[in-house]
Amino acid sequence: MKPTLLTLAATATATELLLPLYQFPANNGGAWAPIEAALTANPSLTAKVIINPSNGPGGPNQGIEDPQYAAGTKALAAHANAQLIGCVHTSTDGGQTRCNMPYANITADIRKWATWVDAGVAIRGIFIDEAPANTANDCVNYMRNLTTFIRTDPDLTARFGARPIVVYNPGGTGTLQPYYDLQPDLIVALETCFTVQEHAGGDYDQCSAADVYERYDHDGVGSSIDNVLFPNIGQANAARTAVLVHGFHHFNGPAANLSATDAVLEQLIRGVVQRGVGATFFNTAGYHTFTDGPASIGRVMEVLSAANAA
Ligand SMILES: *[C@@H]1O[C@H](CO)[C@@H](O)[C@H](O)[C@H]1NC(C)=O
Ligand SMILES: *[C@@H]1O[C@H](CO)[C@@H](O)[C@H](O)[C@H]1NC(C)=O
Ligand SMILES: *[C@@H]1O[C@H](CO)[C@@H](O)[C@H](O)[C@H]1NC(C)=O
């Protein structure tokens, strides 16, 4: 029997927040105050927070060596419901070729993230950006090696915790089952924009008018998950999947033409939670500003908490 949404919701675990925090922690982390306030206001919601000073842990005077980053990440990590994960990437050509970053380089970046823990910032695992969405370039072995390294290297488990968090970001669908088989905590298998092309690409927007993207839920609430995501990844992988939606402004065009209102935000987030998706994020603009409504960080965390409790 095909499970109904109701039975799925009853058996699913909570949908976490996966926050790509690509904003600089200006004012000694003061720029992140709205995120800290939302963490405090929603203690039952777990937030995996991606820390990314410079497409990785950062060079000299960056990242943990920058007092502003050190202060900002220390303050965030002090929240019991925040799990900080450090970004690394597998590509040397901006994502064109995946898994061509020399293994020694990417593991050196992962070890560098472990030094943040020695400096007092509780990094709990790794976000692997520019992860593969097909099996070319021996990527399955590369990702298996990396995942095993992160989860079992004693110097890493001593710092990240007994079971370090591992998240892959191919940024979209493709051939993902070989990667789900490696048992990462999450794969970002749908990352897209809500608004129509004609309104994409403003200040701080993550959408570009030149991109071709799945206008999120353009066929109605839950349609991007039901019609694009699940047919590709298989519904059984929902709990290990993250759905990230940015550019929540204006309207999403034919056919449903939903408007970016608070009421629609609630419906869309409920639609994600009811489908048993492991983690999500909605934002009005891109990953560098989190206070613009309607999908401000405070409101998104509040709505997600409520949807989990429903
Ligand atoms: C890999 O690391 C070596 C040694 O630090 C460096 O010279 C090289 O530029 C790095 N390669 C890439 C693609 O980052
Ligand atoms: C994975 O690790 C094995 C064993 O250490 C090694 O032989 C192989 O070359 C690695 N493959 C990739 C793609 O990193
Ligand atoms: C979608 O709705 C907006 C107003 O919310 C309207 O301006 C626009 O013309 C509509 N687009 C379509 C294709 O119906």
3-state secondary structure of 181: coil
pLDDT tens-place string over residues 26-81: 999 999 999 999 999 999 999 999 999 999 999 999 999 999 999 999 999 999 99
Give nearest CA residue, ligand 3 atom 3: 251
Question: What average pLDDT score do residues 8-25 get?
Answer: 83
For 166, phi then psi, to 5°, come to -130, 125
Q: How many other CB atoms are found less than 10 A from the CB of residue 175?
A: 16
Question: What average pLDDT score do residues 278-295 get?
Answer: 96
- First-residue to last-residue Cα distance in the chain: 24
pLDDT tens-place string over residues 204-260: 899 998 888 999 999 999 999 999 999 999 999 999 999 999 999 999 999 999 999
User: In this structure, are residues 225 and 277 in contact, taking their beta carbons and an 8 Å threshold?
Assistant: yes
Give nearest CA residue, ligand 1 atom 1: 105
Give residue 10's pLDDT band: very low, low, confident or very high (50, 70, 90). Answer: very low
Token pair recorded at residue 304: 């997600």
Share of the chain above pLDDT 70, in %: 96
- Which atom of ligand 2 is closest in space to residue 138's alpha carbon? 13
Pocket perturbation via mutation, ligand 1, pick of 103, 105, 106, 109 by most ligand atoms within 8 A of CB: 105
- Ligand 2 and 138: CB distance under 6 A: yes
Alpha carbon distance 304, 265 (integer Å): 10
> Measuring CA to CA, how many Å separate 261 from each of 153, 245, 268, 294, 301?
46, 14, 11, 6, 16
Token pair recorded at residue 143: 């990702």
Pocket of ligand 1 (CB under 6 A): 92, 101-102, 105
Alpha carbon distance 154, 87 (integer Å): 20
Closest ligand, as measured to the CA of 251: 3
> Measuring CA to CA, how many Å separate 35 from each of 256, 260, 291?
32, 21, 9
CA torsion sign, 155 to 160 to 166 to 171?
negative
Token pair recorded at residue 252: 């999403």
- Ligand 3 and 261: CB distance under 6 A: no
Question: What average pLDDT score do residues 90-94 get?
Answer: 96
Q: How many other CB atoms are found less than 10 A from the CB of residue 254?
A: 9
Q: How far is the CA of 289 from the centre of ligand 3 (A)?
A: 26
Question: What average pLDDT score do residues 278-293 get?
Answer: 96
Share of the chain above pLDDT 90, in %: 92
Give nearest CA residue, ligand 3 atom 1: 257
Alpha carbon distance 130, 126 (integer Å): 13
Supply the pLDDT for residue 49. Answer: 98
CA torsion sign, 149 to 154 to 158 to 163?
positive
Give residue 12's pLDDT band: very low, low, confident or very high (50, 70, 90). Answer: low
Alpha carbon distance 154, 174 (integer Å): 33
Supply the pLDDT for residue 2. Answer: 47
Give nearest CA residue, ligand 3 atom 6: 251
Q: How many other CB atoms are found less than 10 A from the CB of residue 41?
A: 12
Closest C-alpha among 63, 47, 83 to residue 290: 47
Cα angle value 79/131/215 (rounded, 5°): 80
> Measuring CA to CA, how many Å separate 26 from each of 120, 288, 291?
19, 12, 15
Give nearest CA residue, ligand 2 atom 12: 142
Cα angle value 82/80/240 (rounded, 5°): 45
Pocket perturbation via mutation, ligand 3, pick of 248, 251, 259, 264 by most ligand atoms within 8 A of CB: 251
- Which atom of ligand 1 is closest in space to residue 92's alpha carbon? 13
Alpha carbon distance 81, 94 (integer Å): 32
- Ligand 3 and 177: CB distance under 6 A: no
Give residue 1's pLDDT band: very low, low, confident or very high (50, 70, 90). Answer: very low
The mean-pLDDT minimum among 51-60, 174-183, 204-213, 282-291 falls in: 204-213
Q: How many other CB atoms are found less than 10 A from the CB of residue 236?
A: 11
